[in-house]
Structure 1
Amino acid sequence: MVDVFYPLQWLADKLTYDTFGIVQGTALASSVNFIIYDIMKILILLCFMIFFVAYIRTYVTPEKTRRVLGGKKGIQYNLIASLVGTVTPFCSCSSVPLFIGFLEAGVPLGVTFSFLITSPLVNEAAVAVLWATIGPKATLMYVISGVVIGVIGGYLIGLLKMEKYVADFVYKIHSKQVAETKMTRKERLDYAVDEVKDIVGKVWIYVIIGVTLGGIFHGYAPEGILAKYAGKDNPLAVPIAVLIGVPLYSNVMGMIPIVESLIGKGLPVGTSLAFLMGVTALSLPEIIILKKVLKKELISVFVTIITVSIIFTGYLFNYLL
C-alpha cells in the first residue's frame, strides 16, 4: 500500500537530520521529526476536510434542519440530528446556542440532545486530525461511535420525557426566521474557501502547541510507563481516563496530537479516545452553560448517559483495536 504522506515524511527527515543536523536515533531527533511531520500532515488534511464539509454545509442550513426535525419523533430523527451534528464546526460550548434554537423551534428534546452530543465529538477538523494521527480505521470507528452515542443518548432522553426540566423561558422564545437564499456554485466554493481560512486561522496555533507537546512526550517519555498504569490489564483504566478528561476543556486540535503520542507510548487506543471524548463531550464549561437552560435533573441524566456510553466505547475500542 502506497503511503500518500511519504513525501512529508521524507521532508521531515531531511529537515531533522540534514538541515538541523540532529543525530538520528536520539530522543531529540524523535521529537523534532514527530513535530515537523505531524504539523504538515495535520494542516494539509485540515484544509482539505474543512473545504469538503463546508461545501456540503451550504446545503444544510439551520432553518432546513429545523423544518425537517421540528415536532418529529422517532429514532430516525435522532440519527438525522446526530448526522447534522457531524457537519457543524462547533465545540461543546458553542453548540449550546444552536441547541437552544432547536428547542425554541419545536424540535423534540431527545432529538435536540442527539445534535448536542455529536456536534463537539465529530466535526471535519477533528476527523482530519484523527485521520492524520491514528489512521483511517480508528478514525472511522471514532466517527461511527460518536454518531451512535448521539443517537442512543438523545433517544433515551426522549423516552424519559424530561421536557419539564427545561427552563420555562426557552419554550416562550420564538426563533427568528432567517430568509434563505440560493447560492451559486461559485458562492459555495467561495464560502468553503472562507471557512478554511477562518477555521484554520483559529486552530493552527492549537495544532502547533498540541503537536509540540505530543512531540516532546513522544521523544522523552519513559517507554511503557502508561502501559503499566493505564494498560488493558487495568480494568479501571477507561473510566479513570474519562473522569480525568471531564474537568478539562481544550481545543480538540491541541488534544489529538497528545493522544497520538500517548498511544505511541503504550496507552491503549480505546482508553486514549475515551479520554478525548471526555474532554470534548463532557466539559465543565458546557455543563455550566447548560445550567442556564436545563435543570439539574436533566443535566445529571445527560452526563450519566454520555459517561456510560463513552466508557463502553473505550472498552469496545480496546477490544477491537
Structure 2
Amino acid sequence: MFKWLADWLVEDIFGLSVATKFGGAVHFFIYDTTKIIALIAVMIFIISYIRSYFPPEKVKEWLQGRGKGVASVLAALLGVVSPFCSCSTVPLFIGFVEAGIPLGITFTFLISSPIVNEISLVMLFSIFGWKIAVIYVFFGVILSIVAGVIIGRLKLERYVESYVFEVKMGETAVTAELTVKDRLQIAKDNVIETVKKIWVYILIGIGIGAFIHGYAPEELLVKYAGEGNPFAVPVAVLLGVPLYSNAVGALPIVEALMQKGVASGTALAFMMAMTALSLPEMILLRKLMKPQLIGVFVGVVSIGIILIGYGFNIIL
C-alpha cells in the first residue's frame, strides 16, 4: 500500500520519474515516511497497552535483590521494552543507585534502552526484515550485558558524584487498578504523544536518507565505507559518537547508506554509536558522574560496537 501511494504521488500527481535522482529521492521520502509513521503508531499502541501492566517503578523492584547474572540479563531485556530515553537518565540512574542496584547493572539498562527499544525494532523490521532486526537486537542486548559486567568489575563507584548516593527518590504508590478502557486510553495518548515528539526526527532522518539515496555518489561511499575498507567500522563509530540522533532519525540514513553499497555492519555500527553515545546523554550523565567514569563508559561501549560492526559484516 505504501509503495503504491508513493508511486501514485510521484509519477501520477507530481509527474516525476523514479529513475531520476530527484524523483527517486522524493519517492524514498514519501514511501519511508508513510510506512514508518503507520507502523510506529500501530506498534506503540500495542506495546503501550501491554506496558500499562508494568509501571516504571516495577523495573527497580524487579532488579533489587537478584543475583548479578540474572539481574544483568533482566536489566538488558527490560531496557528493550522500556520507553526511557536520555531525558530519563538522571532520575533513573539516581533511582537505581539509591535502591542499591550495582553500577554495572545500572549501565546495562542505560545502554540497552536507547539501542534496542521497541521503536528501533519496529523500524528495523519494516526496513530491513526480520533477520537484521533479530540480529541487531541480539547483539545490542549482548553489548549492554558485557559492557555492564566490565564496568561493574572495574569498581568505579568512586567516580559517581557523592550526592547521588544521598538522594532519596521515594516510592510511587499505586492507588487504583486500571480498567481496560483506561489502558486503551493510555495507549492512544502515548501514540499521540510519541508521534508528536519524534515526527521531526522522522522527517529529518528520512530527508537526509532521501538525499543520500538520490544524490550521494555511490563510488565514494563504497570506497570509504564499503566492505573493502578494513577501517570502515571504527571510522563509522568515531563519526557516530559525537552526533546526536535516536533510532527514528538514524535508521533512514542507515537504509540509504546500505542501498548505496555501505556494508551492513558499518552502517548499523554507525547507528549504534549515534543512539547509545549521544552528546545530550553525555551532558546529562556528567551531572551524575565524573569524567573518568564517562570516559570508561564511552570507551567500553565504542569498542563493543566496533567488534559488533565487524561481526555484522561477517554474518550479513
Q: TM-score, normalised by structure 1?
A: 0.93
Correspondences of 1:73-222 after superposition (within 5 Å) = 73-180=67-174, 181-222=176-217
Q: Which residue of 2 aligns with 1:279?
A: 274
Write the distance in 2 (CA, Å) between the matches of 1:104 and 1:311: 33
Write the distance in 1 (CA, Å) between the matches of 2:136 and 2:253: 17
Residues 72, 108 of structure 1: 8 Å contact kept: no
Residues 71, 108 of structure 1: 8 Å contact kept: no
Write the distance in 2 (CA, Å) between the matches of 1:124 and 1:257: 16
Tell whether 2:313 aligns with 1:312: no
Tell whether 2:301 aligns with 1:301: no
Q: CA deviation at 1:162?
A: 2.1
Write the distance in 2 (CA, Å) between the matches of 1:185 and 1:83: 26
Write the distance in 2 (CA, Å) between the matches of 1:23 and 1:117: 43
Q: CA deviation at 1:278?
A: 0.8
Q: Deviations over 1:60-83 (max 9, x none)?
A: 222222222124342211111111
Q: CA deviation at 1:251?
A: 3.5
Residues 75, 151 of structure 1: 8 Å contact kept: no
Q: Which residue of 1 aligns with 2:49?
A: 55
Q: TM-score, normalised by structure 2?
A: 0.95
Q: Deviations over 1:206-229 (max 9, x none)?
A: 212221221122112222321111
Q: Deviations over 1:170-214 (max 9, x none)?
A: 111112111024222221111111110100111112212221221
Percent of aligned pairs sharing the same letter: 50
Q: Which residue of 2 aligns with 1:13?
A: 7
What one-letter code is carried by the residue in structure 2 that aligns with 1:242? V
> SS of 1:17's equivalent?
helix
Q: CA deviation at 1:24?
A: 4.1
Q: Deviations over 1:143-181 (max 9, x none)?
A: 111111111111222222222221211111112111024
What one-letter code is carried by the residue in structure 1 that aligns with 2:89? S
RMSD between superposed Cα atoms in Å: 1.5
> SS of 1:23's equivalent?
coil
Candidates 285, 289, 301, aligned match of 2:284: 289
Write the distance in 2 (CA, Å) between the matches of 1:119 and 1:202: 17
> SS of 2:218's equivalent?
coil
How many equivalent residue pairs?
Answer: 315
Write the distance in 2 (CA, Å) between the matches of 1:100 and 1:93: 13
Residues 225, 266 of structure 1: 8 Å contact kept: no
Point out 4+ residue stretches in structure 1 off by more than 4 angstroms: none
Write the distance in 2 (CA, Å) between the matches of 1:189 and 1:53: 11
